[in-house]
Structure 1
Amino acid sequence: MSTIIAGRFETFAHAETTATRLMAKGVRQDDLTMFYVNPPGQHGTYPIGGDEAVDPGAKHAGRGAGRGVLMGAALGAGVGICLAAALRAWYAAPPQPWVLILVLVCATGVGAYAGSLMGALSQTRGRNVRVRHAGVLLAAHVSSDNTSLVANELRQNGAQDVERADGQWRDGNWEDFDPLVPPVPVGR
């Protein structure tokens, strides 16, 4: 495994300028590579798109939807009973029984749907995981002698998300780069 230090830039031109400065300070050209990293969720890991088969934040959404259906249906049924009673009171001739049943069924269905939606959303959690942002990544294969030099030079030239990784460096390329692996920031 090789030690790799990388920084994210907004443009290729900015990354190329930084690469030139690194080479002027003794970093070999075959120890540098740059490439564009797509935004999160757009790495095409799956044929139909996306990076993950299942969103980990939605793990408990089904359970929440089940609870929500029950509570929403009960609330909807209560509203339906109240509406049916109001219809009977407002009209001199009571409506047909099928109208009252239809009101009750519709109110229960609307309540169940709204409850399932709110229940599922209440159990959906946002991620607290560090993600790799889109941009041009300038990566350098480093040794213990020039690790801090490369990290400092990346920062001084405006790199964002300066990170450290262990990976396979072969023929001037970071062979096993995985855009889904969260970056590990380099300490100052």
Structure 2
Amino acid sequence: MSTIIAGHFQLQEEVERARQQLLGAGFAEERISAFFVNQPGQHDRTPIGGDHQLSPGASDTPAGVAEGAAAGGVVGAAVGATSAPLTGPFGAIVGGLVGAHIGSLFSFSKMKNKGEAETDGDNADRVRKSGMLVAVAVALADGTAAAATDEGGAIDALRRVGAHHIERAAGTIVGGDWVDFDPLSEPQLVASE
């Protein structure tokens, strides 16, 4: 594993300038990787697509739906039995509709973890931004430099060409491919100067 410095860009032309800047700073071409990072939730990590089996905050959804169905069934049966003498066969239909409504309200209260915010505003720096990413391996696991320059040189080179959200990570770049990149990992942002 190596120490990797990566910067985010929005345009393909910026990516090519960043690659040239890193090559000019002495980094070997096979230690530089450039690729597009999808938006959060669109990394196709599960068999049905997406990043997680359940949406964040929806861990209690299956239990909530079952409890809602049970509560709705009880209420619906009671309403249907009570209204059957007046409404005839429509009592069961009315009971089913009322029960379904009560059950859905009950299950919705279980679908969001208690105390969880509705937006991800406070998690903005904990989620990797989408866009083009240019990464360079700057140090090998044994501590030796992977190129003619160091971490500071890579950060400076990326800043000179307008990189934003520069991050530090551990990983392996082989032949220009960051082989163990995890789009769901929390980025470790490099402080701005």
Q: Distance in 1 between matches of 2:92 and 2:72?
A: 17
TM-score, normalised on structure 1? 0.71
Q: Which residue of 1 aligns with 2:167?
A: 163
Q: Which residue of 1 aligns with 2:102?
A: 112
Cα 1:97–1:36 change in 2 (3 A) is closer
Aligned pairs, how many?
Answer: 176
Q: Does the aligned pair in 2 maintain the 1:72–1:111 contact within 8 Å?
A: yes
CA RMSD of aligned residues (A): 3.4
How far has the Cα of 1:173 moved from its partner?
Answer: 2.7
Structure (1 or 2) with the larger CA radius of gyration: 1
Secondary structure of the residue that 1:8 maps to in structure 2? strand
Secondary structure of the residue that 2:6 maps to in structure 1? strand
Q: Distance in 2 between matches of 1:5 and 1:32?
A: 10
Q: Does the aligned pair in 2 maintain the 1:7–1:159 contact within 8 Å?
A: yes
Q: Distance in 2 between matches of 1:15 and 1:37?
A: 13
Indicate the structure with greater helix content.
Answer: 1
Secondary structure of the residue that 2:105 maps to in structure 1? helix
Q: Any unmatched runs of 5+ in structure 2?
A: 140-144
Q: Distance in 1 between matches of 2:88 and 2:23?
A: 83
How far has the Cα of 1:2 moved from its partner?
Answer: 0.6
Structure 2 counterpart of 1:162, which letter? Answer: I
How far has the Cα of 1:135 moved from its partner?
Answer: 1.2
1:176 is the counterpart of 2:180: yes
Q: Does the aligned pair in 1 maintain the 2:32–2:173 contact within 8 Å?
A: no
Q: Which residue of 1 aligns with 2:142?
A: none
TM-score, normalised on structure 2? 0.70
Secondary structure of the residue that 1:42 maps to in structure 2? coil
Which is worse superposed, 159-168 or 42-51? Answer: 42-51
Query: Which residue of 126, 132, 135 corresponds with 2:131?
Result: 135
Cα 1:100–1:52 change in 2 (3 A) is closer
Secondary structure of the residue that 1:35 maps to in structure 2? strand
Query: Which residue of 153, 157, 162 corresponds with 1:149?
Result: 153
* Percent of pairs with identical residues: 33
How far has the Cα of 1:159 moved from its partner?
Answer: 1.5
- CA deviations on 1:99-154 (whole Å, 9 max, x unpaired) are 78458615632432341343134447466482222211100111365211211332
Q: Any unmatched runs of 5+ in structure 1?
A: 85-94
How far has the Cα of 1:71 moved from its partner?
Answer: 7.3
How far has the Cα of 1:167 moved from its partner?
Answer: 0.9
Q: Distance in 1 between matches of 2:51 and 2:112?
A: 24
